[in-house]
Amino acid sequence: MIGLWARDAVTYKQGICVDYPDKMLVNRCLAGDDSAFSEIIGRYKGKLYNYILRMTSDAEDAEDLTQEVFIRMYSSLDSFRKQSSLNTWLFRIASNICIDSYRRNKKHKAIAYSLDEPAFSDDSSETTHEAPDVSYEPHRVFMQIETAGQIEMALKKLPEKLREVVLLFDVEGISYEEIAQIVDCPLGTVKSRLFNGRAQLRKLLTDYTAG
Q: Is 151 in the site for another protein (CB under 8 A)?
A: yes
Q: What angle do CA 191, 103, 175 make, to 5 degrees?
A: 25
Q: Is 8 in the site for another protein (CB under 8 A)?
A: yes
Query: Residues in contact with another protein, total (CB under 8 A)?
Result: 51
- Give the single-character DSSP code of 127: P
Of the pair 71, 210, the CB lying nearest another protein is at 71
Pick from 21, 50, 80, 160 the residue near another protein by CB under 8 A: 50
Distance CA 99, CA 64 (A): 14
Distance CA 142, CA 202 (A): 8
Give yes or no for a contact between 208 and 150, defined as CB atoms under 8 angstroms apart: yes
Pick from 16, 18, 115, 148 the residue near another protein by CB under 8 A: 148
Please state the closest distance from residue 202 (CB atom) to another protein, in A. 5
Q: What share of the chain is helix, strand, coil (3-state, %, to 5)?
A: 65, 5, 30
Q: Which stretch binds another protein (CB under 8 A): 14-22, 60-68, 82-90, 109-117?
A: 60-68
C-alpha distances in angstroms, 164 versus 2, 148, 170? Answer: 37, 17, 10
Residues at the site binding another protein, with contacts judged by CB under 8 A: 1, 4-5, 7-8, 27, 30-32, 41, 45-46, 49-50, 53, 59, 62-63, 66-67, 70-71, 74-75, 77-78, 134-135, 138, 142, 145-146, 148, 151-152, 166, 169-171, 173, 176, 191-192, 194-195, 198-199, 201-202, 205-206
